Structure 1
Amino acid sequence: MQLKEWMQQQGLDWVVEERANLWTNPNYEPTDHSFLADQQTTEDAFLRIQRFLPVLSLLFTDVSVEIDGLDSIIHPVDNQFGTDLWMKRDDLLPISGSIKARGGIYEVLYVTEQIAFKHKLLHSVNDDYEKLARPEAKRIFSSYGFVVGSTGNLGLSIGTVGRAFGYTVEVHMSKEASDWKKRKLRDVGAIVTEHEQDYSSAVKAGRNEAAKQEKWHFIDDELSETLFTGYSTAGILVKRQMKEQNIRVDANHPLIVYLPCGVGGGLVGFFTA
């Protein structure tokens, strides 16, 4: 049987014919957990990231203290589709290049700020956040931990920034995870637990492991509002970049965003912006 014939039998003729299509999951059920980041929540998150830029620039050479110190460029793509097309290069995002890093890094920073206030490492949001890179701060952070289930990119971002602050980080990785990501995590001192099952199993295992540890924080790729809020901050920066590039958006010049996604967390966060 030819591939084309098989695909037609499976109802995939639209793929062969290169037609757009929408497939809906027949097993979809409504959820009782919804999230929509309002403007104030997103702006608060953006300001929190700005407060951390000085200490992040000490820990990572590719982060600067400028307003876009933890952002990626946009650049035009050759006009081969009959319209203006720009690409947001989150593969070049500092620390850990992926859109998932926006959420992962942000949630680590969010929790770090809470711990810092609790232990009086910081006394106000106007304090010197560079203090959080000092040995006494790392001693406190070392008694806390992060756990995450990931196919790779989210875990890589959390492991990289979490270990830089001194946290214990355990990443539960599913069978889809790339070997080089596992190696990089282990190189920075993160604990990598491999699972033969799929992504959902890795997330469940991470959630169960975190529940056993009083001072460990589970970053939930499926349900964390803090994670989604981190993604949403990209909207502020993209809007700024579009203004700099004189990209006009109005009723006659609509903005259409294409975003590849897996579970959908990055999608939810970015589009709530």
Structure 2
Amino acid sequence: MIIFENHVMKNHSNMKVGGVAKRFIYIEDKNELKEVFDKYENIFLIGNGTNTLIDDEELDITFVSLKKLDKVEEVAEGLVRVEAGLDFNKLISFMNLNNYTGLENLAGIPGSVGGLVYMNGGAYGSEIFDCIKEIEIFDDNHEIRTLKRDEVGFSYRHTEIQAKKWVIISATFEFKRGFDLQKVIEIQALRESKQPLDKPNLGSTFKNPSGDFSARLISEAGLKGTKIGGAQVSEKHPNFIVNDGTATFKDILNILATVKSTIKEKYNIQLEEEIIILKNKSR
């Protein structure tokens, strides 16, 4: 493993906001997880930081990264084992090269495989659990186990992995043949046309409430373009909060609170964040 003390976290979040962490650890072998979790407290497992908002004060947190666990391999016909640290779009490329289909609708999501499995990430009617056969985890008893898909509780943007604070080591996917390259091209073009990818952001900020869309509610409430400090509700996609380069953690928290209170007042709907928010204990 590789350990950095007093590590600056700003560049570990797509929002480009973050303070100094107590330590940052790169895991190089899955068996190192037990040593780390036995030795340290207040651990947070970070993926690509594409949906994680990090406090910009001093952080009494040990961050653990599995980015160096990034192997992808075909273990049998249609079965592909992928380590958690692999960038998800490298899995899409692997599927293209090997003519596998099933996750094309998720193309372009800027996260790690482990991060998407952790929250059952998805897009355009598909979820990553649609193709999962089993997952390998480091559990709350500090043991490595393999669980079949039907042994894991999951729903829209949620898994029991979150509640039990398990660490995803790898996932085995079951694919069929027939990669849809045209679908991937269309999805990526759609993302580029509708999402503010030119500014720091954390993707979709709020979960869609039952039977509706957060983006529609935010837009109809007149919140598009609302700005607090350096944080802004995107003009391009109202369910994205963007950073103009000067946003503080407090700016972003304030704009989240403004959106939630406005939607609650206008529609009596309580929006729930899809992003992960890491606060300093003093907040």
User: Same fold judged by TM-score > 0.5?
Assistant: no
Q: TM-score range by the shorter chain?
A: under 0.3
- Greater percentage in strand: 2
- Greater percentage in helix: 1
Length-normalised TM-score, structure 2? 0.25
